[in-house]
Amino acid sequence: MINPALEFLYGLHNRGIKLGLQNIESFLEICGNPHKEIQTIHLAGTNGKGSTASIISKILQKNGYKVGLYTSPHLIHFNERVRIDGVPISNESIIEFIEKHKQTLIDSSITFFEATTALAFEYFAKQNVDIAIIETGLGGRLDSTNVLSPIQTIITEIHYDHTHILGDSIEEITAEKCGIFKNNTPSITINSDKRVIDTIKEHASLKNSEVSFIEKEDIIAENQTPESISFHYGSQRFSLPQAGSYQTQNAILAIKTCQKNFNELTEKDIQLGLDQWCWPGRMQLMKPDFFYDVAHNRNGIGILVKDLKKIYNKKPIGVLVVKKDKINPELIEIFSKSFDRLIISTIPSKDILNKEEITNNPLLQKFEFIDNLHEAMVTIDRVEYSGGKVVFGSHYIAKDVYNFFDFSFDNGII
């Protein structure tokens, strides 16, 4: 029943990516400016946006707040992008939105992401959420979500990514992310690169935005297992039911945000939310010692292999499927140094590195290649190995991975 509606929505992909706010502002005005009716927290950054947003959402949800969450991309179903209290938007609500605005969408140049963003805002306003946690799609300054007047902004870790759009230097990339700063609105960040910090300070000053800087060194991981990680920040101790040292940083961003804006929350209240948190595709344990991670850039993959090595005291083995625009000599060097065995595979997609591009690349010929992802996962799964195993590199393979491991989403955890 939803297929025609989603087919129409996906058809807007043909309009490409159009950075800028004129389109979305005009469309939202037609929609009745629903974004002005909701209280929001707005996030930008390279890595950790989705995790941080979902942790905030879960903490508040478990403490009685009605919470909207808007993230991208989705892993399996489009509905995952727009959620209230962890439950994805219904097919009926998507169809209702498209039918209501279809002619406007046809007559205008609204893109897929702009339409999806408007859908989220309208749905959250209609459902009267207490607060909505909104993740940028790309960059910040010209991102479709940047029409908000949030109660707080968050800048997660910033690294090189999307340089063809955001700029070649880390300062340019940071400046684009800082575009979400609003006048007299507080922000929080956890970056350690001096160039990033200086750029954040410069742009925050222009908006009279008070920024809290979290020092990574102050977050101490106490114990990490394949299933969890415990950590402390100052005198506060917490744990997450999912591995990944980087998640402790995302958690502290989320925790400090909740404590600042919802100061009635105790450490016990916060841990209640953390205990119920799950973020699929991020160091997700699919079966004993076999993980799935969507890490796809140098920083993300570097942290992933470092964590796996720390847990198991040896290099991991794994299967990689990656987008064409992500592969580079620096990333290949990480593969060479960090894996005891690596199989590169592919799936049918114009965006994913394909068989010819893999086998004809001299730098990739040192790795095994198996054309069928299922076969590649079977191969690694059957290896008797005392270290960690991981299939990684893309959101695009989520459906194949979850089918392989017989994992299905639950409405209460995504």
Q: What is the pLDDT of residue 182?
A: 97
What number is the average pLDDT over the span 13-37?
Answer: 92
> Right CATH number for 3-275 from 3.10.450.750, 3.30.1360.120, 3.40.1190.10, 3.40.309.10?
3.40.1190.10
Average pLDDT in the chain: 94
pLDDT at 401 over 70: yes
Considering the chain, tell me which residue range(s) the CATH 3.90.190.20 domain(s) occupy: 284-405
Residue span(s) of the chain under CATH 3.40.1190.10 come to 3-275
Give the pLDDT band of residue 13 (cuts 50, 70, 90).
confident
pTM: 0.93
Separation in Å, CA 398 to CA 202, 258, 297, 408: 39, 30, 17, 11
pLDDT at 191 over 70: yes
The predicted pLDDT at position 175 comes to 94
pLDDT band at 15 (very low <50, low <70, confident <90, very high): confident
Under 8 Å CB-to-CB from 143, ≥6 apart: which residues?
A: 19, 44, 136, 137, 179, 180
Share of the chain above pLDDT 90, in %: 87
Amino acid occupying residue 166: L
What is the homologous superfamily of the domain 284-405 according to CATH?
Answer: Mur ligase, C-terminal domain (3.90.190.20)
**pLDDT by residue (tens digit) across 238-263?**
999 999 999 999 999 999 999 999 99
Q: Is the pLDDT of residue 110 over 80?
A: yes
What is the tens place of the pLDDT at every residue in 333-392? 999 999 999 999 999 999 999 999 999 999 999 999 999 999 999 999 999 999 999 999
The confidence score (pLDDT) of residue 162 equals 57
The residues, ordered by sequence, that sit 6+ positions from 231 with a Cβ below 8 Å of its Cβ are 219, 220, 221, 222, 237, 238, 239, 240, 248, 251
pLDDT confidence tier of residue 112, bands split at 50, 70 and 90: very high
pLDDT of residue 166: 67
Q: Which two tokens stand for residue 288?
A: 């004993």
pLDDT tens-digit readout, 145-169:
999 999 999 999 998 765 555 667 8
Q: b vs e for 184-217, b when ≥16 Cβ sit within 10 Å of the residue's Cβ?
A: ebbbbbbbeeeebbebbeebbeebebebeebeee
Please check the confidence at residue 181 and state whether its pLDDT lies above 70.
yes
Q: What is the mean pLDDT of residues 191-205?
A: 94
